[in-house]
Chain A
Amino acid sequence: MASLVSDTEPPTYLNSTPTDLVRRKKRQSASSAAASSRRNNAASATAGDGDSHAPWRSEKQQRSYSANLIQALQQVRLSSPAAETPYPTAQKRGKAFREAADRALAVSARGRTLWSRAILFNRFKLKFRKQKRPRPAAIPAVITRGSSSSSSGRGTKKRRVTVVKLNKKSIPTVNRKVRVLGRLVPGCKKESVPVILEEATDYIQALEMQVRAMKSLAELLSGSGSGSAPPPI
């Protein structure tokens, strides 16, 4: 556990949070898989940092996401028998599943985007408020580190911008639609226009990747695990 934490670079503090939750069951596989995927991801992140489209379509990103997803799904499956209702409704199971998948997606974003941070902090704060965790000392430290880093990150990313009215385009209409868009993307309700647009592009690509991964996973499962390699996406 300590080796995993020390292995991470400062911006990837977010990885320690979900893996803390997953590490309850599969320690060795989590550390090895996460470490290998993180190393792969570091290479892909440095390579595709300039282009905004490449990171979400690279093979390594997909691998890391699918690894995180599988771990998160195991978590959901193992925690559902421990729930109070002996037979949770399909809606609740689907929702818990979706949240776990979103969390895995946000982790794969490696903390560079606003919406991923918002997803992780929302889930984390909810869990913190709902039940007492057995490790309370670690959590306040993570939250303070997270909030300080997120505020500093947001300070570097977000600029105080205004829109200059240059031509006769109807600015209020565009602004209103951008606000609606901002409400759809998690964590962007109060951001400025270009930030919302940027986050939206990243969010759309991430969602597309999530859809592709889940589709192939569903095909794999409904084909009852024939043992062959999954089809390349």
Chain B
Amino acid sequence: MSSRRSRSSRQTGASMISEDQINDLVLQLHRLLPELGNNHRRSGKVSASKVLQETCTYIRNLNKEVDDLSERLSQLLESTDSAQAALIRSLLM
């Protein structure tokens, strides 16, 4: 961990990115997040670490949701026959 941190703080390449660009990206990320408790905190700055924390949680939740849905869908698809699947395919295209 410490080696990774020191490597990132050392200047490795030609172009350098400023805090503002990072802040912009973090803000963009923050806009995507579900606005649960953020409505009253729409002032200028949002805490970057908090946004990142919420992003990690949100991605984990989404992954879990996709896993549950895919399990449910696989069970559902096992029970339906090919005629219904063909019907669904024709509906979606």
**Is residue A118 contacting chain B, with contact meaning CB distance below 8 A?**
no
**Nearest chain A CB to B73's CB is how many angstroms away?**
5
Establish whether residues B52 and A77, one from each chain, have CB atoms under 8 Å apart when the complex forms: no
**Is residue B9 contacting chain A, with contact meaning CB distance below 8 A?**
yes
A185 contact set on B, CB distance < 8 A:
59
**Nearest chain B CB to A104's CB is how many angstroms away?**
11
**Nearest chain A CB to B30's CB is how many angstroms away?**
10
**Is residue A12 contacting chain B, with contact meaning CB distance below 8 A?**
no
Tell me the count of chain A residues lying within 8 A, CB to CB, of chain B: 70
Which residues 34-93 in B have Cβ within 8 Å of A in the complex? 48-49, 52-53, 55-56, 58-60, 62-63, 65-67, 69-78, 80, 84-85, 87-89, 91-93
Tell me the count of chain B residues lying within 8 A, CB to CB, of chain A: 55
Establish whether residues B71 and A97, one from each chain, have CB atoms under 8 Å apart when the complex forms: yes
- The residue in chain B whose Cβ has the minimal distance to the Cβ of A222 is B76
Q: Which secondary structure dominates where chain B touches chain A?
A: helix
B66 contact set on A, CB distance < 8 A:
98, 101, 207, 210-211, 214
Cβ-defined partner of A160 (8 Å) among B12, B55, B67, B71: B12
**A205-B32, A211-B65, A218-B69 known; A169+B19 contact, CB < 8 A:** yes
**Is residue B21 contacting chain A, with contact meaning CB distance below 8 A?**
yes
Establish whether residues A93 and B60, one from each chain, have CB atoms under 8 Å apart when the complex forms: no
Establish whether residues B92 and A230, one from each chain, have CB atoms under 8 Å apart when the complex forms: yes
- The residue in chain A whose Cβ has the minimal distance to the Cβ of B60 is A184
**Segment touching B, from A2-10, A41-49, A66-74:** A66-74
**Is residue A82 contacting chain B, with contact meaning CB distance below 8 A?**
no
In the assembled complex, the Cα of A76 lies from the Cα of B58 at a distance in Å of: 28
In the assembled complex, the Cα of A31 lies from the Cα of B92 at a distance in Å of: 16
In the assembled complex, the Cα of A170 lies from the Cα of B49 at a distance in Å of: 9
**Nearest chain B CB to A132's CB is how many angstroms away?**
27
Establish whether residues A94 and B63, one from each chain, have CB atoms under 8 Å apart when the complex forms: no
Which residues 193-233 in A have Cβ within 8 Å of B in the complex? 193-194, 197-198, 200-201, 203-205, 207-208, 210-211, 214-215, 217-218, 220-222, 224-225, 227, 229-230
**Is residue A139 contacting chain B, with contact meaning CB distance below 8 A?**
no
Establish whether residues B14 and A160, one from each chain, have CB atoms under 8 Å apart when the complex forms: yes
Establish whether residues A159 and B13, one from each chain, have CB atoms under 8 Å apart when the complex forms: yes
In the assembled complex, the Cα of A36 lies from the Cα of B66 at a distance in Å of: 27
16 CB contacts below 8 A, A to B, read A77-B77, A93-B78, A97-B71, A97-B77, A162-B13, A162-B16, A163-B9, A167-B19, A185-B59, A197-B26, A201-B28, A204-B32, A204-B58, A204-B62, A227-B87, A229-B91
Closest 6 CB pairs of A and B: A160-B13, A94-B71, A177-B52, A197-B25, A97-B74, A97-B70
